[in-house]
Structures are given as structure tokens and as C-alpha cells.
Amino acid sequence: YGTSVEEAVNRPRIFLENGHLSVEGGYDAVQVERLVERYPEHRVWDDVNL
């Protein structure tokens, strides 16, 4: 995907488990808003957290 292992590990992630969505900080706010509308059980972290 054109990134080093270090870059990939340090990028924000999106994680879905049992219908609960976790989104790490760093994504476009409009895109995150659209995504969490579909998942009422969610948490948006301010930073990379998972």
C-alpha cells in the first residue's frame, strides 16, 4: 500500500466488533460523521488509541 510498517502502525484505525464501532482520531470529520450515523454504538477517539 505504499507505506512502511512504521507508518502503517502509526496511522489511525477503524475497528468494528459485535456492532460496536471504534474510530481513532485523524480521519476527516465529515466522513466520520457519516460513518457513525450507521453505527449507533460507537466511540470516536481523539487520537490513535487502539
Percentage of the chain exceeding pLDDT 70: 98
8 burial class (0-12, 13-18, 19+ CB within 10 angstroms)? exposed
Domain residue ranges of the chain, discontinuous segments joined by +: 5-44
d(CA 35, CA 38): 6
The whole-number average pLDDT for the span 23-50 is 93
pTM of the model: 0.80
